[in-house]
């Protein structure tokens, strides 16, 4: 059997039951899930996504809220600028598209914060269009099963996009299913650190495995540090603002992160990013809260 057919058959049996994949989900539900899932595992996204859908079941609902409320409800997903981008996208959908998420990739890419990947994913998963969806999981499965290397290049290449396009089935619905199926295979079986080759449905077709599973020949890949970094500092400051009902005094921010130069640098960056709004009297709040 072909690679595509094998993966589709595996997905039909082993896929996870995720709410944004269920029958009847709205394009808005899919769009929010795709933004939240960027660099964030499903287990962390699920409760936040469900909360957002309760609060803001349509783009117009989110657009009517203050941007700071989107940041507050983002919780600990990380990279909170995504919350502001979603709010901006919701506003554009309300004001420019009659409250309906656009269905075609070129129009989706005009929305704030929507790039090639998200536009393709929404077109495929929300509307069933034949679109080339290439995320980290897809790249890894392609690298191993087709190209025969342990890991893809550090950055997305044109060759990878071309390969993904060449694997797409001709039928729109089948192509959309293939996209999510190969992503699921990468998330559950063909993982980065401990691939489960013994249960992989394409083990007999995998070029990397057939070559003896050679180690990665690319540059060393270092995990991101966290303790004491600017990312941790920014997250700590934002979390204090999220947990506060009103503006927060600068003294309180200084208390949660005593390192002065780093704190001020990170606070300035948060203000520049639109995630924090400075007020008179050395006070700060989430934007528009």
* Residues that are catalytic: 34
What are residue 116's DSSP bridge partners?
none
Burial (Cβ within 10 Å: 0-12, 13-18, ≥19) of residue 90: buried
Rounded Cα distance, 156 and 38, in Å: 15
Q: What is the rounded distance in angstroms from the CA atom of residue 45 to the CA atom of residue 169?
A: 30
Interatomic CA distance for residues 156 and 136, integer angstroms: 9
Using alpha carbons, select from 77, 70, 111 the residue that is nearest to residue 287.
Answer: 70
Residue 7 to residue 168: CA distance in whole angstroms:
12
Strand spans (E) along the chain: 248-249, 277-279, 283-285
In sequence order, the 6+-apart residues with CB closer than 8 A to the CB of 17 are none
Q: How many CB atoms lie within 10 A of CB 204?
A: 10
Residue with tokens 């992503």: 183
């Amino acid at each position: 059997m072909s690679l595509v057919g094998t993966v589709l058959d595996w997905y039909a049996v082993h896929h996870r039951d995720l709410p944004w994949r269920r029958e009847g989900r709205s394009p808005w539900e899919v769009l929010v899930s795709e933004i939240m899932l960027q660099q964030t595992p499903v287990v962390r996204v699920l409760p936040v996504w469900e909360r957002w859908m309760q609060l803001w079941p349509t783009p117009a609902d989110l657009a009517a809220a203050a941007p700071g409320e989107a940041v507050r409800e983002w919780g600990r997903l990380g990279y909170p600028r995504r919350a502001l981008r979603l709010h901006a996208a919701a506003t554009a959908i309300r004001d420019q598209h009659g409250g309906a998420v656009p269905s075609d990739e070129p129009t989706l890419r005009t929305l704030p914060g929507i790039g090639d990947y998200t536009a393709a994913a929404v077109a495929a998963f929300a509307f069933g269009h034949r679109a080339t969806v290439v995320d980290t999981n897809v790249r890894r499965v392609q690298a191993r099963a087709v190209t025969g290397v342990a890991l893809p290049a550090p950055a997305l290449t044109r060759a990878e996009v071309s390969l993904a396009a060449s694997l797409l089935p001709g039928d729109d619905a089948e192509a959309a299913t293939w996209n999510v199926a190969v992503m699921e295979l990468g998330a559950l079986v063909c993982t980065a650190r401990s691939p489960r080759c013994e249960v992989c449905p394409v083990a007999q077709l995998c070029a990397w495995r057939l070559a003896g599973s050679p180690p990665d020949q690319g540059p060393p890949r270092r995990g991101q540090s966290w303790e004491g970094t600017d990312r941790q500092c920014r997250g700590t400051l934002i979390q204090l603002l999220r947990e506060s009902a009103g503006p927060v005094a600068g003294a309180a921010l200084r208390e949660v992160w005593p390192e002065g130069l780093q704190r001020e640098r990170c606070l300035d960056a948060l203000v520049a990013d639109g995630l924090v709004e400075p007020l008179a009297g050395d006070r700060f709040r989430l934007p528009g809260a």
